[in-house]
């Protein structure tokens, strides 16, 4: 399975990728707890609030430790667990010495248990992060939970996306180029309308940049009338409409029709599939794509009196 283009580009722009992931966890302090419980099966104490804390874990000079995100779970006003989130895009041996310090220092600062959560999109890096860290003290072995691309939840429910947009955006980043991409995007994009303008545009670009071209075009057809807010998305939509009518794009447009039907759960027999793929008229394909987005059955998609 091919990873999303955004995840695949992390190696080329590590600083930007690092900040993108860190921002998702800063913008939703409870996201780390939700990931631990829902994606990684970790049992957490009951809590009523998730609050960002200082990322400065320095206690004694000259050592200095700064985590990416630190969240304190509180039950009322009482800290019950500290969650330290580290975004790891490469194998960095020194982390195996600093991560145990993050846990012990956080525990001392807040007076409650502490847990390290590592976000590692690359499979090889995720495997390295999950290796037990022997501290040298008998019984003290750190085994941090690791969220890799494959373990990111697939969010396709619009209500869930509206309630937890950061998790939905993370889902699009991880699975945008898979068969779930269009369904994830269709759930998350309307949810972004309820956010402030800056965050909405930022998340919109992340989602669209995570989708392959066919999924973007299929999503556009499914969401006729949706008002695109991101400059990136507006540029793509205009370009996609032009390309959809140009010579040589017929096969891609026909596959868009099949993608929309698949996402909507409409079965397409082999004969109908071949009929759609054989269509070369750009205007006819445009009508098929529009009908595929709204028609209740395959028969109504293929029925064209013109």
CB 189 within 8 A of CB 220: no
CB 240 within 8 A of CB 216: yes
For the chain, first and last CA: distance in Å? 40
Question: Residue 12: what pLDDT?
Answer: 44
What is the per-residue DSSP string for the chain?
-PPPHHHHGGGTSHHHHHHHHHHHHHH-TTHHHHIIIIIT-------SEEEE--SB---STT---B-SEEEEEEETTEEEEEEEEEE--S--TTHHHHHHHHHHHHHHHHTS-EEEEEE--SHHHHHHHTS-EE-SSTT-EE---EE-GGGS-----HHHHHH-HHHHHHHHHHHTTSTTHHHHHHHHHHHGGGS-HHHHHHHHHHHHHTS-HHHHHHHHHHTTT-----HHHHHHHHHHHHHHHSTT-HHHHHHHHHHHHHHTT----HHHHHHHHH---HHHHHHHHHHHHH-SSHHHHH----
What is the per-residue DSSP string for 289-306?
HHHHHH-SSHHHHH----
pLDDT digits (tens, 9 = 90+) for 198-257: 888 888 888 888 887 777 777 766 665 555 555 545 554 455 555 544 445 677 778 878
CA–CA gap between residue 255 and residue 261 (Å, rounded): 10
Question: Residue 264: what pLDDT?
Answer: 74
Question: Residue 254: what pLDDT?
Answer: 84
Residue with tokens 């309820």: 194
The dihedral formed by the CA atoms of 32, 56, 54 and 45, expressed in degrees to the nearest 10: 40
Question: Residue 283: what pLDDT?
Answer: 81
Q: How does strand 114-119 pair with strand 78-87?
A: parallel
Residue 80 backbone phi and psi in degrees, to 5: -115, -20
Question: Residue 265: what pLDDT?
Answer: 74
Where along the chain do its domains lie?
A: 5-151, 242-306
Question: Residue 3: what pLDDT?
Answer: 52
Contact residues for 103 (Cβ-Cβ < 8 A; gap 6+): 84, 114, 115, 116, 142
Question: Residue 78: what pLDDT?
Answer: 96
Which regions of the chain are under pLDDT 70?
1-15, 57-65, 220-249, 263, 304-306
Question: Residue 58: what pLDDT?
Answer: 55
pLDDT digits (tens, 9 = 90+) for 51-80: 999 877 654 443 456 889 999 999 999 999
Question: Residue 29: what pLDDT?
Answer: 95
Report residue 251 as tokens: 């096969």
Question: Residue 146: what pLDDT?
Answer: 97
Question: Residue 60: what pLDDT?
Answer: 42
CB 55 within 8 A of CB 98: no
């Amino acid at each position: 399975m091919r990873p999303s283009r955004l995840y695949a580009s992390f190696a080329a722009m590590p600083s930007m990728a690092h900040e993108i992931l860190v921002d998702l966890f800063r913008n939703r302090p409870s996201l780390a707890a939700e990931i631990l419980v829902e994606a990684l099966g970790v049992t957490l104490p009951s809590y009523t609030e998730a609050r960002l804390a200082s990322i400065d874990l320095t206690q004694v000079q000259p050592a200095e430790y700064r985590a990416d995100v630190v969240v304190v779970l509180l039950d009322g006003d009482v800290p019950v667990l500290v969650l330290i989130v580290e975004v790891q895009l490469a194998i960095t041996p020194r982390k195996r010495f600093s991560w145990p310090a993050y846990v012990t220092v956080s525990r001392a600062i807040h007076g409650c248990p502490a847990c390290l959560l590592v976000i590692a999109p690359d499979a090889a890096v995720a495997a390295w992060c999950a290796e037990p860290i022997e501290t040298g003290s008998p019984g003290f072995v750190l085994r941090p939970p690791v969220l890799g691309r494959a373990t990111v939840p697939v969010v396709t429910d619009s209500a869930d996306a509206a309630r937890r947009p950061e998790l939905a955006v993370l889902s699009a980043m991880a699975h945008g180029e898979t068969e779930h991409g269009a369904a994830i995007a269709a759930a998350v994009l309307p949810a972004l309308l309820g956010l402030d303008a800056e965050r909405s545009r930022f998340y919109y670009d992340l989602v669209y940049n995570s989708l392959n071209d066919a999924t973007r075009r299929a999503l556009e057809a499914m969401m006729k009338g949706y008002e695109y807010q991101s400059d990136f998305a507006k540029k793509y939509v205009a370009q996609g409409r032009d390309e959809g009518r140009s010579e040589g794009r017929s096969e891609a447009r026909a596959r868009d029709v099949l993608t929309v039907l698949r996402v909507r759960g409409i079965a397409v027999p082999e004969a109908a599939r071949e009929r759609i793929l054989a269509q070369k008229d750009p205007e006819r394909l445009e009508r098929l794509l529009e009908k595929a987005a709204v028609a209740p059955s395959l028969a109504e998609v293929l029925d064209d009196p013109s």
